[in-house]
Amino acid sequence: MNSPAIAANGLRKSYGDKLVLDGIDLAVPSGTVFSLLGPNGAGKTTTVEILSTLITADDGVAHVAGFDVAKQTDDVRHCIGVTGQFAAIDELLTGEENLLLMAQLRHLGNGREIAKDLLSRFDLVEAGSKLPATYSGGMRRRLDLAMTLVGDPRIIFLDEPTTGLDPRSRRTMWEIIRALVADGVTIFLTTQYLEEADQLSDRIAVLDHGKIVAEGTAAELKRLVPGGHIRLRFADIHGLDAAARRLPHAIKDDEALTLQVPSDGSARELRAALDRLGDIDIEQLTVHTPDLDDVFFALTTHGART
Ligand X SMILES: Nc1ncnc2c1ncn2[C@@H]1O[C@H](COP(=O)(O)OP(=O)(O)OP(=O)(O)O)[C@@H](O)[C@H]1O
Task: Note the residues at the interface with ligand X (CB under 6 A).
Answer: 15, 20, 38, 40-46, 192
Beta carbon of residue 18, minimum distance to ligand X (angstroms, whole number): 6
- Between residues 8 and 273, which has the closer beta carbon with respect to ligand X? 8
Under 8 Å between Cβ of 38 and 207: yes
> For the stretch 127-148, what's the b/e string if a residue is b when 16 or more beta carbons lie within 10 angstroms of its beta carbon?
bbeebbeebeebbbbbbbbbbb
Question: Percent helix, strand, coil in the chain (nearest 5)?
Answer: 40, 25, 35
3 state DSSP class of 37:
strand
Beta carbon of residue 47, minimum distance to ligand X (angstroms, whole number): 7
Q: How many whole angstroms separate alpha carbon 103 and alpha carbon 19? A: 38
Beta carbon of residue 190, minimum distance to ligand X (angstroms, whole number): 6
**247-253, long-range: CB within 8 Å, 24+ apart, which pairs?**
247/273, 247/276, 247/277
Chain center to CA of 231: 30
- Between residues 22 and 269, which has the closer beta carbon with respect to ligand X? 22
**CA nearest neighbour of 51 among 3, 105, 11:** 11
Integer-rounded Cα radius of gyration of the chain: 24
- Between residues 172 and 190, which has the closer beta carbon with respect to ligand X? 190
Contacts of 240 (CB under 8 A, 6+ apart): 234, 252, 254, 257, 258, 259
Beta carbon of residue 275, minimum distance to ligand X (angstroms, whole number): 47
Beta carbon of residue 96, minimum distance to ligand X (angstroms, whole number): 30
Beta carbon of residue 286, minimum distance to ligand X (angstroms, whole number): 33
> Taking the C-alpha atoms of 129, 132, 133 and 139 in order, what is their torsion angle to the nearest 10 degrees?
110
- Between residues 190 and 263, which has the closer beta carbon with respect to ligand X? 190
- Between residues 55 and 270, which has the closer beta carbon with respect to ligand X? 55
Beta carbon of residue 45, minimum distance to ligand X (angstroms, whole number): 3
What's the burial of 224, exposed, middle or buried (CB within 10 Å: 0-12/13-18/19+)? middle
Beta carbon of residue 13, minimum distance to ligand X (angstroms, whole number): 8
Under 8 Å between Cβ of 28 and 4: yes
- Between residues 6 and 100, which has the closer beta carbon with respect to ligand X? 6
- Between residues 94 and 163, which has the closer beta carbon with respect to ligand X? 163
- Between residues 46 and 258, which has the closer beta carbon with respect to ligand X? 46
